[in-house]
Chains A and B, each alone.
Chain A
């Protein structure tokens, strides 16, 4: 169990990973450890981990097209109150408004758009840069569910 001084602290890390889905695990393990250190409620922890999974896989697969010569830059900040992450790939970017709604009947069986939808559901704030190759997202802990 973390002591009071640990819980009150802010933790952050900055990491640059190659475009390999296997690299996601190391980032997620690091986040999981910090969430545990701050005794983040299991619901918030689930939402952060799922949101990060989707955003990292999107950056590697759709952003960098799995090109291992391209990297994904990840900055994470965790306090007892909230989680914040910025994930930037080296792809051409995209317009989030151009992604078809995956819940439309005609799109239900198509593979695209669900990741972004889950990110928007599990994070309280999601903002893309103008190019669309960088996303900043935030989740506050212990908030009542909508």
Chain B
């Protein structure tokens, strides 16, 4: 296994005490990238002690079920820490993935980033 430098796959913007997370990749499909995204999302809660997190999907065009697993894990982690996860700016095709799998019943999904901030 080559020791590749772990590239940042998410961008975190601070809005008060809320972490607004954007994704670098348009396609969240590759196994390795999804692993790294999962680790970097976990670090927000475990290392940085974030409890209010927004995932902004404005840059995302494709998303696989493996990526859904990482979002579910983040949601569970935040719930355990008495925090909250809100998803926003999800294009219709991707939103359908959440609807089919009924994850829209588990995770809060709103239209805009402003709507997401209003959820905290």
Contacts and interface: CB of A to CB of B under 8 A. Distances in A.
A62 B100 CA distance: 22
Nearest to B79: A109
B66 A108 contact: no
A102 B101 CA distance: 7
Interface residues of A, number: 22
B81 to A, nearest CB: 15
Interface in B71-86: 72, 75-76
B65 interface: yes
Contact of B64 (A25, A46, A57, A121): A57
Given A50-B64, A54-B65, A108-B105, A21 B31 contact: yes
Contact of A115 (B29, B65, B102): B65
Contacts, number: 56
B62 A109 contact: no
B48 interface: no
B32 interface: yes
Contact of B101 (A25, A53, A57, A103): A103
Interface string B99-114: 0111101100000000
Contacts of A118: 65, 97, 100-101
Interface in A49-72: 49-50, 53-54, 57
A108 B93 contact: no
Nearest to A118: B65
B64 A22 contact: no
A111 interface: yes
Interface of A: 21-22, 24-25, 28, 43, 46, 49-50, 53-54, 57, 102-103, 108-109, 111, 114-115, 117-118, 121
Interface of B: 29-32, 62, 64-66, 68-69, 72, 75-76, 93, 97, 100-103, 105-106
